[in-house]
Amino acid sequence: MITSDSLKSYLHLHFLVMIWGFTAIVGLLVSISPVALVLYRTLFAAAGLGLLIYFKNKNLQAGTRDIVRMFGVGVILSLHWTLFFASARVSTASVCLAGMATTSLWTSLIEPLANKRRVSPLEVGLGVLAFAGLYVVFRFEFDHALGLGLALLSAILAASFTVANSRLVQRLDAYVITFYEMAGATVFSFVALVVYESTGWSGGEKYIPQSTDWVWILFLALICTVYASTMATQLMRQFSAYLVNLTINLEPVYGITLAFFFFGSKEKMTREFYLGTLLILLAVLLYPLLLNAPFLKRKTSRHTPE
C-alpha cells in the first residue's frame, strides 16, 4: 500500500531528477565559458559541502592514497561537466541530453571491465538498440554532430565517474568523498581555465560572471549539486536502488521538455531526432526492467562480480 509519506518522497525524487535535467539549460543561460562555469560550480559546491560536513561533525580524515584517488575522480567530474556544458553551447540542450541519455549504458560496459567480469548478452543487445538510436540522431541532425559527440564523451566520463565512486563509497563517507572530489575538480578546473585563457582557446569567451550569472552559478552549486545530491542520498534509504536509478533515467525527458519550454523553436528538432532519442531512452528504461525479469535472473546472476 502506498502511503502519503512514500508518495511525497517519490514525487520529491522526481523533483530532484527534474532539477538535474535543468542543468543543461543553465549552461545556456550564463555568459561565461563552460570551463569557468565548472570552476565556479565546483568551488561553491565544495564550500557548501564543507559547511555541511562541519555542522554534521563528520571527520574529513582519509588516507593519502584515497585522497589522491578522490582528487583523480574529481578531475574526471570536471572534464565531464565541461564537455556537458560545451555540448549544449555548440548545439542545443536537447542534443546534449540525448547524448547524455547513454550514460547508464556506458556504465553497463565499463563496470564489467573494471570488475573483471563478462558483459552480459542483455547489456550488449540493449547497447545495440541505443546505438541504433544514436545513428538515427546523427544521420538526421548532422549539423549538431559536434554537440552530440561532446555529449557522448561526457557520458563516457560520467559512467567512469559512477564506477569509480561505487568503489570508494564502500569504504568512505559519501559526504567526504564528494567534498574531496569537488576540491579536486576545482583545482583542475582552475588550471584548465588558466591554460584555456592564456592559449587563446577561449575565443574571447568571458570568465568573469555578470550579475545575473551568479544566480545560476549558485543554483548549480547549491541546488543542483549540494541539495539534490544530499536529498537523493537520503531518499535511497526509502527506495530501492532499482527504483532510484529507473527514475534518474528520466532526466533527459525532463531536460528536453524544459528546454523546449525555455527556448521554444530553437530547441525544436526533427521527428527523426525524437525517434532516435526514444530508442536510446527505451534501451535505458528496458535495462533495469529486463535485468529483474524472472526468466533472466538465473542467466544474469552468472555475471555478478566474484
Burial per residue of 239-258, b for 16 or more beta-carbon CB atoms within 10 angstroms, e otherwise: beeeebbbbbbbbbbbbbeb
Q: State the pTM of this model.
A: 0.82
Q: Which amino acid is at 172?
A: L
- Residue reference for cell 555548440: 90
Residue 70, classified by CB atoms within 10 Å of its CB into exposed (0-12), middle (13-18) or buried (19+), is: buried
What pLDDT, on a 0 to 100 scale, did the predictor assign at position 127?
74
Written as one letter, the residue type at 106 is: W
pLDDT of the residue at 216: 93
- H or E stretch including 239? none
Give the span between the Cα atoms of 253 and 249, in whole angstroms: 8
Q: Please identify every stretch of the chain with a pLDDT value under 70, giving residue numbers as ranges.
A: 1-4, 140-142, 201-204, 233, 236-237, 240-246, 287-289, 291-306
* Number of structural domains the chain divides into: 1
State which residues form the domain around 23.
4-303
Residues 6+ apart with CB under 8 A from 4: none
Please give the pLDDT value at position 299. 43
Please tell me the predicted confidence (pLDDT) of residue 73. 92
Q: How far apart are CA 13 and CA 65, in angstroms?
A: 34
Helix (H, G, I), strand (E, B) or coil at 32: strand
Write the CB contacts of 240 (distance below 8 Å, at least 6 apart in sequence). Answer: none
Tens digits of per-residue pLDDT, 170-217?
788 878 888 999 999 999 999 999 998 888 766 667 888 888 899 999
Cα–Cα dist 281/246, whole Å? 11
Cβ neighbours around 192 below 10 Å, total: 19
Q: Tens digit of pLDDT for each residue in 22-59? A: 898 888 899 999 999 999 999 999 999 999 888 888 88
